[in-house]
Amino acid sequence: MQTLFLEKTGITLRTERACLLIYQQGKHIGSLPLKELERVVASPQVVLAAGVLGVFCEHNIALLVVNHSNPKRTAYLSAPMHSDVHRRMRQYALYQDQTFRTHQARRLVFLKLSRQYRLLAKQQDSRPDLRHVLFKAMETLRHLLEDIKTDGETLTLERLRGVEGAAGGAYFAAYSRLFPPALGFEHRHRRPPTDPVNACLSLSYTLLHHEAADALRAVGLDPALGCYHDLYYQRDSLACDLLEPIRPWIDAWVFGLFHSHRLRPEDFKHENGGCLLQAAGKQRFYETYRRQAPAFRRLLRQYARMAEHTVMNDESQ
């Protein structure tokens, strides 16, 4: 059973006998036996008749319509309960296993800190003026990574969050120094973002959080049930988990936006204590994001498939 991803414009879906037919700009480009499909993940531009939905229902195929430009319009049409319910039942059972949760959370945090370390290390040669600042943060990260390695089996989720918080403080103290003082970026500030860099970080994290939730739905997992992040009202905690090790790569991308002068201070405005992108800057941000998003999306899908494999095989060790 497989998932079919359809994102190109001009795609039309039809069914004939026991096959799903795929057309682009009116030309037939492929077909798949319906019995081999578990779900279809499509962009809002994909065209299909209501009758196709009935055929999907008949063959227990789920449909996820992913709207990247307007995440609130993302829609999930579930097929009648089939294998997904057993998958989620295993996920719910594993959530009750504190050892399993801690083991998975430790992997996420270790990967995140490792990538934070590499991002700072990459800047050492090009920023000799910041060698001491970068080295100090990297040493903190290195010691915390060693703590996770040596104390891993005894680390509770609460202690692990403390380690991740200490790493974040050291990391952002150095990361913020990579940007020109004119941007006013001194530390991570979320609600509301108070400067251009924080505004771009928050927007990027939000966009990719939705991507992570969609990737998890596409493999039949409940995005709300995380390992590292606890249950919280109206929060997709497993999507938050999935995003953690990718955050340093998002940070690197945001750094590139300003380092290349794609975005400048004049592209932002301050309003009601927060910092917002203005129209011209927003257009350039989204143009660049659309080019970068497929790479992040592929990675999140890979992580989602790994999470599904872990759930189904109970790989807690």
Mean pLDDT, the chain cut into blocks of 10 residues (317 residues total): 77 92 92 87 87 87 73 68 73 89 92 96 90 94 92 82 93 94 87 89 86 84 89 85 94 94 90 84 85 88 90 66
- The reply, when asked if residue 186 is annotated as ligand binding, is no
Residues 61 and 190 reside in one and the same domain = no
| Same-domain check for residues 97 and 76 | no
3-class secondary structure, 305: helix
Give, in degrees to the nearest 5, the angle at Cα 232 between 244 and 93.
85
**Do 205 and 75 share a structural domain?**
no
* Inside any domain, residue 184: yes
Q: Are 13 and 46 in contact (CB under 8 A)?
A: yes
- 56 with 104, same domain: the answer is no
> Which CATH number characterizes residue 197's domain?
1.20.120.920
Provide the domain count of the chain: 2
In a domain, 148, yes or no: no
For residue 60, what is the domain's CATH number? Answer: 3.100.10.20
Q: Do the Cβ atoms of 275 and 193 come closer than 8 Å?
A: yes
Task: Name the 3-class secondary structure at 151.
Answer: coil
Given 80, 101, 121, which residue is the final one in a domain?
80
pLDDT at 248: 96
Give yes or no: residues 33 and 96 share one domain: no
Domain C-terminal end among 63, 80, 97? 80
Q: Which residues contact 129 (CB under 8 A, 6 or more apart)?
A: none
Residues 23 and 94 in one domain: no
- Give the pLDDT of residue 281: 87
Phi and psi at residue 134, to the nearest 5°: -65, -45
- Based on the fold, state whether residues 308 and 252 are members of the same structural domain: yes
Residues 198 and 306 in one domain: yes
Report H helices in the chain: 50-58, 83-95, 98-123, 131-150, 157-175, 196-218, 237-243, 247-259, 279-313
Q: Are residues 48 and 94 in the same domain?
A: no
The strand order across the sheet containing 37-42 reads 2-6, 37-42, 62-65, 75-77
Question: In this structure, is residue 14 part of a structural domain?
Answer: yes
Separation between Cα atoms, residue 209 and residue 300, nearest integer Å: 10
**Residue 141: its pLDDT value, please?**
96
pLDDT score recorded for residue 316: 47
Tokens (6 digits) for 85: 């319910």
Give the bridge partners for 14, in sequence order.
21
274: three-class secondary structure by DSSP: strand
Q: Please tell me what DSSP assigns to residue 184.
A: -
Q: Are strands 75-77 and 11-16 parallel, antiparallel or unpaired?
A: unpaired
- Is residue 293 a part of any domain in this protein? yes
229 is in an annotated binding site: yes
Known binding residue 164? Answer is: yes
CB atoms within 10 A of CB 283: 12
The tokens describing 7, both together, are 């994102």
Give residue 1's pLDDT.
56
Element (H, E) at 271: strand 268-271
Q: Return left, alpha or beta for 65; rule: phi > 0 is left, psi -120 to 50 is alpha, else beta.
A: beta
Q: What is the pLDDT of residue 149?
A: 86
Same domain? 100 vs 245: yes
Assigned token pair, 292 = 């970068």
Please give the residue range of the domain that contains residue 17.
Answer: 2-80
Domain membership flag for residue 251: yes
User: Is 36 contained in some domain?
Assistant: yes
185 and 67 share a domain? no
Tell whether 71 and 195 lie within a shared domain: no
Is the residue at 202 inside a domain?
yes
Q: Note whether 46 and 56 are within 8 A (CB).
A: no
Q: Residue 279 domain-assigned? A: yes
pLDDT of 152:
65
Q: For residue 140, what pLDDT is reported? A: 96
pLDDT on residue 78:
64
The pLDDT of residue 135 is 94
Measured in residues, the chain has a length of 317
